[in-house]
Chains A and B, each alone.
Chain A
Amino acid sequence: MSGKVRILVVDDEPQIRRFLRHALDASGFEPVFAETAAEALLSVKRTKPAAVVLDLGLPDLDGKLVIGQIRQTSAVPIIVLSARDQEAEKIAAFDLGANDYVVKPFGIGEFLARLRAVLRSSQPETSGNALLASGPISINPDRHEAMKNGAPVRLTPKEFELLSLLVRHAGRVMTHSHILETVWGPAHREDIAYLRVFVGQLRHKIEDTPSEPVLILTEPGIGYRFADGG
């Protein structure tokens, strides 16, 4: 058994598995494969992968249902791989617990970057009250302090919660409804305009050029993603 990070690739297209095998091998991962939803669920249990790359168009079950079933037993990061690019499809996948979404066709560079991001954000030390950091931003949850390049940033309590949430999940796409529910409560799930205002304010305080954000990135129609600063 190697010490390599194991990645489960679930796709019924042999050609996709073929190039992903070479790409993951060459990048130092240990790829394992599944062609159907049943195989995938079994493999998540048996091989305990560090991340799952999941095609939504599986022959035996809708991939979205697979996300839900994996989530019942495991918090393993899931990157959805799909030829379906409708927003509703993406939002549904995110709401079911997917961590990221890559539309076919894609370049291998982008795919590997996203894979590294979800692997990083799933590491245990970023949870709890430890110091959070991503790129120039660092957050001390105990003292309710946010710093940019070591200099304190003045934030309202809601802005602070919003930024903490995004930084804690840096590199991952957070849907509008998930952010609203976590920061403002379930009654505000639909208040996307409200969220936009807060994100605008936050960008003014932390971005160098608020009109061209490089930290809080917009995923059009889906939500926001905090730039993964490594």
Chain B
Amino acid sequence: MRTLSPVARVSRPRALHYVVSALFVSAVALFATASVSWLPATGLPLLFLVAVLGSAVTFGLWPGIAAAAFAFATYNFLFVEPLYTFRVGSAADVLALSLFLFTAALTGWLAGRARDEADAATRRAAHLAQLSAFSSELGDCSSAKDVMAAFSLRAARVSDTPVVVMQQTGGTIEVATAEPAGTTLDDVSMQACERAFRYGREQAATAAGWQGSRFGFYPIVIDAKAVFVAGIGAPELDRLRSAEIDQTVTTMVAQAASAIGRIAQTQAINAARIRADQETLRAGLLLSLSHDLRTPLATILGSVSTLRDLGHSMPDAARMDLLAATEEETRRLARYVDDLLTMTRLKTGLKPHLAMTDMQDVAASAVTRAQAAHPACRFGLTMKDGLPQVWTDAALLEQALFNLMDNAAKFSDIKPVHLSAGHDESGVHFDVTDHGPGIAPQLHSVIFDPLFRGQDSGKSGTGLGLAIVKSIVEILGGTVTVSSPQPEGKGSVFTLFLPANGTLSS
């Protein structure tokens, strides 16, 4: 860390300051000449000291010292015998003049230094304000780009020059962010910027009046690699103020680098957490799948091996029961495999067979199939007149309607399930209404997830029925929603909507 005290490096104010200082002294000299008749002789040096003080307070140390020297010469020339020469007649005058010179120089020096320190303190306060604003902005940044945008704004306020932040992507260096927007680099500056990227070291701007880059470049280094390079325009300023800006910008560069490092770390942690969550979810699905596949297999293998090993010592009824169990579980397994295959086909981009489809036919066919699967349940069908034909896949739509009724029947015991269809200008909607226990609102978001199974769904569910419905309506460009429980506190209505124009999600 470089430390710079305001006294160690002195400022070099512009020539104008010296000219104005000289004018102050000249004005005092004129006034003194005009009023020498009535002004007491002891007042004259004081008048000149006022001019020296004024110069030092207004322009700082060196103009103050220069004013002191000029005042000394003028006073000597105009008011010390012999007049209008720089010679000094008496020894007493030499002493008086020496005292005057000393006092003037001391006054100029003290006042000038106070002025310079006040200036430096103001600038430091301004830099600190920008640094602190930058620090608090870093807390809100969620990407490296955000960090560098905040950096360029604050660095531009500090340096009072344009700021360009460059990044290197695949060998080419380009502007990441700039303040003001649209600032670009000329060829010479670009070369300095490349050096900053290559060596990861600062590249100072070339001093005014020399050929070279008008930007100083500060690499933002993370893991020994320059990720960004910030170009700060070189201000036309004295060394002290340039050094102060350099110090502040260097601090901001370090803050930006650590903020970017922290963001990268947070992102890595978040990515790992998301991966772990997905792993847990997948492991859960796999566990559930392995249980659902193994249980029927266990019954089949167990029943068959029992029949073979022990069948001879069993009553007929027990043998028949084992055969029945084997058949039931084989059917259950077959249904499960069917659902898994359907799901896989749907998820891996099944191409629907589209045709103008009669909604009445599809609905009637789905009801017939549901009735066959659930003989104990009563299925009803209501169709509005004039249902339009829809450009859709009849088989997939029938499967979706069947699954909705199949699901409803499982929870309805022997209570009736009703399918009704209606339409308006936007499309066709099917409502499957049951009088089962209803579905708690907090479950509405998960019932369409694969392998989700409600309690009391009996042992026949695969947890895939509603997931298949959802996949199908997505392919057909429709929607499926649930409204449950119904106002009387029981029962659910699943609504499948198909847009009239048969819009398809690709």
Residues of A within 8 A of B (CB): 13-16, 18-20, 22-23, 25-27, 57, 83-85, 104-109, 111-112
Contacts and interface: CB of A to CB of B under 8 A. Distances in A.
B185 to A, nearest CB: 60
A108 B305 contact: yes
Contacts of A85: 290
Nearest to A15: B299
Nearest to B314: A26
B302 A19 contact: yes
B295 interface: yes
Nearest to B326: A19
B321 A109 contact: no
A18 B325 contact: yes
B440 to A, nearest CB: 19
Contacts of A13: 295, 298-299, 459
B414 interface: no
A27 B302 CA distance: 14
A104 B302 CA distance: 9
A66 B298 CA distance: 22
Given A15-B295, A19-B325, 7 more contacts: A18-B325, A19-B322, A83-B290, A104-B295, A104-B298, A105-B300, A111-B302
Contact of B313 (A14, A15, A26): A26
A22 B322 contact: yes
Interface centre among A22, A27, A105 (most CB of B within 10 A): A22
Contacts of A18: 299, 303, 321-322, 325
A20 B295 CA distance: 13
Given A15-B325, A15-B329, A108 B313 contact: no
Contact of B310 (A14, A27, A104, A106): A27
Given A20-B302, A57-B291, A14 B459 contact: yes
Contacts of B329: 15
B50 interface: no
B301 interface: yes
Contacts of A83: 290-291, 294-295, 298
A55 to B, nearest CB: 10
A170 B299 CA distance: 29
A72 to B, nearest CB: 28
A63 to B, nearest CB: 13
B206 interface: no
Interface in B436-478: 459
A25 B325 CA distance: 16
A16 B302 contact: yes
20 contacts: A13-B298, A15-B459, A16-B295, A18-B299, A18-B303, A18-B322, A19-B302, A19-B306, A22-B314, A23-B302, A23-B306, A25-B314, A26-B310, A26-B318, A83-B294, A83-B295, A84-B290, A84-B291, A106-B302, A108-B302
Given A15-B296, A19-B322, A26-B310, A105 B291 contact: no
Contacts of B294: 83, 104-105
Contacts, number: 82
B287 interface: yes
B305 A16 contact: no
Contact of A108 (B297, B310, B459): B310
Given A22-B318, A84-B287, A106 B309 contact: no
A85 B298 CA distance: 13
Contact of A105 (B302, B309, B314): B302
A83 B299 CA distance: 12
B328 interface: yes
A109 B295 contact: no
A23 B294 CA distance: 19
Contacts of A16: 295, 298-299, 302
Contact of B303 (A14, A19, A25, A57): A19
A108 B298 CA distance: 10
* Best-surrounded residue of A15, A25, A57, A112 (most CB of chain B within 10 A): A15
A18 B215 CA distance: 85
Interface in B346-394: none
Nearest to A104: B298
A13 B290 CA distance: 15
A131 B451 CA distance: 55
Contact of B318 (A15, A25, A109, A111): A25
Nearest to B294: A83
A115 B313 CA distance: 19
A82 B271 CA distance: 34
Contacts of A107: 301-302, 305
Contacts of A111: 302
A108 B318 CA distance: 15
B135 to A, nearest CB: 48
A106 B295 contact: no
Contacts of B313: 26
B298 A106 contact: yes
Contact of B306 (A14, A15, A57, A108): A108
Contacts of A105: 294, 297-302
A15 B297 CA distance: 11
Contacts of A108: 302, 305-306, 309-310
A16 B302 CA distance: 8
B303 to A, nearest CB: 4
A153 B90 CA distance: 134
Given A16-B299, A18-B321, A104-B295, A109 B305 contact: yes
A28 to B, nearest CB: 9
B295 A22 contact: no
A11 B164 CA distance: 71
A16 B300 CA distance: 9
Among the interface residues B296, B303, B459, which one has the most CB atoms of the partner chain A within 10 A?
A: B303
